[in-house]
Structure 1
């Protein structure tokens, strides 16, 4: 991370922690300043091309792919050969009709065909707590189902990026727990009709099952350090936050402790907080300095309200804090 910090102009620094740093500025400029092949993982969620303008800014559907590709090109230059770009892109409808936009798929094709990424795997983030939208087609006319899944593209610079799925195992099902408790009672090693050969090793307890590419993660947190700081300061937090478990999954799967993780649409800096907790170095870039300043609350849970308010105001005014 020190090499990367040396390239980034310190005037845009908001705060530093033991493992990382939050910057405020144009991510295109900040990405261009990163040293080549210095980043192990980019994990981010860009503004989606929604038809209703949002407070945090969102591009229109016509220009979205070209706009997002400009960031992806710079990210690829900064990635190590074994590195990955994980990008969460939500869906949207076309204007005035109940027909879906194809922006996330066009972006994927541009990343692969034009920029040179490889699609390591597609993931789908299922958010069971997501509110029904758009109201016109779902709530009023009831001609479309609730949209509760985002596409998450795991892209890589080479065909073999660093990854270890065994680090992100999930709890066994109840039936698998019963099988592991008494294998001879519940199955016999043999070839199945599907032509899968289930051997004796199937009954080995590995501490959890391998995950699927459907990530069921509710986005309903409302009382973490960030929300508490928003309430005590009387401000509205960033309106588009992803849950900590989403970046956590990919950080654990594709990086090692000490690796560098970067989020170039950091918002409330969930990624930086998760990376620090997991012992990874991190850099976060956010265009709006107010959002960047407020994200320090994720790292100072033991501070009193007056001190948090003072520090956030100092960062908003251009100051930089070392924690």
Structure 2
């Protein structure tokens, strides 16, 4: 099948993901994908412009993808899925649907997957939702996070947290400089030796709570776990390009920082990354920037056209050279 557009390292296909992955595109990728990084349509109660199923139909559809994705993975490959919460229709009750999706997806008998780790992507600047119960009736708190599920076919997929370290905090920098700290027994009964924290590893190991803004006022954000969506998303290069072209950008774009973190953690340059629900192709753009090969699939042509804006430099026609 011909791709919608190509770059130096990747290609975007236009079409229905399931059909393409069960057809020629899937055959070409079978056993070769190092990372499936995606944010599928969330299990919402209302239809969105980017398309989404609801209720049991959503669960059945989502779970059916497990063996398809597993078949594409390299033996040490990973699947990372960002997915939001769901609420029962017209009730101030959170739905168990996302959790049931996770359990049935991970335990699909034909997929052989396991959950390596769950993370939370927290955004304190999200608009109060669900609005009926948060801002009108005022009986619930703002839903301010999404789940990030990391699954694999092996207990030991390719992963190295040294590739995705956070910069040390200011206090840790001072500790490394003075080469001393309060060693000994802690209230938790852990015993810290006098040398446990004196080695400079180039940064600290990332936590599985990804902050979009600092939780504590005055704290310095420490990338890669501080994803600055709230303050920069409307002014990033992609958003500026959309405004220039008079285009309304995809309303549910995956955070670039989230993609960058898992790309660094789970792959190496030259590895292959797939996003079967590419949208405006955040995954592909990050992969291209970090030197990974990539494949994206998007069903809506308007969003596929938007994706080209992320690759303006590499897709720009080259001027013919003039020989003097």
Give TM-score scaled by structure 1 length. Answer: 0.86
Are 2:302 and 1:290 aligned?
Answer: yes
Tell me the secondary structure at the aligned position of residue 196 of structure 2.
helix
Which residue matches 2:156? 160
Cα drift, residue 301 of structure 1: 4.9
Cα drift, residue 149 of structure 1: 0.9
Which residue matches 2:100? 106
Tell me the secondary structure at the aligned position of residue 176 of structure 1.
helix
Which residue matches 2:262? 250
Equivalent of residue 208 in structure 1, options 203, 210, 214: 203
Q: In structure 2, list runs of 5 or more residues that go unmatched.
A: 212-226, 318-324
Are 2:8 and 1:18 aligned?
Answer: yes
Which residue matches 1:224? 236
Cα drift, residue 72 of structure 1: 2.5
After superposition, residues 1-323 of structure 1 pair within 5 angstroms as 9-10=1-2, 13-32=3-22, 33-34=25-26, 35-114=29-108, 115-184=111-180, 186-188=181-183, 190-199=184-193, 200-216=195-211, 217-220=227-230, 221-301=233-313
Structure 1 consecutive aligned stretches of length 4 or more whose deviation exceeds 6 Å: none
Cα drift, residue 237 of structure 1: 1.5
Tell me the secondary structure at the aligned position of residue 95 of structure 1.
coil
- Which of 167-176 and 290-299 deviates more? 167-176
Give TM-score scaled by structure 2 length. Answer: 0.86
CA shift in 2, pair 1:303/1:73, >3 Å: closer
Cα drift, residue 218 of structure 1: 3.9
Which residue matches 1:314? none
Number of aligned pairs?
293
Cα drift, residue 59 of structure 1: 0.7
CA shift in 2, pair 1:130/1:254, >3 Å: same
Q: In structure 1, list runs of 5 or more residues that go unmatched.
A: 1-8, 308-323
CA distance in 1, matches of 2:191, 2:112: 37
Cα drift, residue 210 of structure 1: 0.5
CA distance in 1, matches of 2:143, 2:103: 23
Tell me the secondary structure at the aligned position of residue 63 of structure 1.
helix
Tell me the secondary structure at the aligned position of residue 56 of structure 2.
coil
Cα drift, residue 211 of structure 1: 0.8
Asked if 1 retains the 8 angstrom alpha-carbon contact of 2:7 and 2:315, the reply is no
Cα drift, residue 22 of structure 1: 0.8
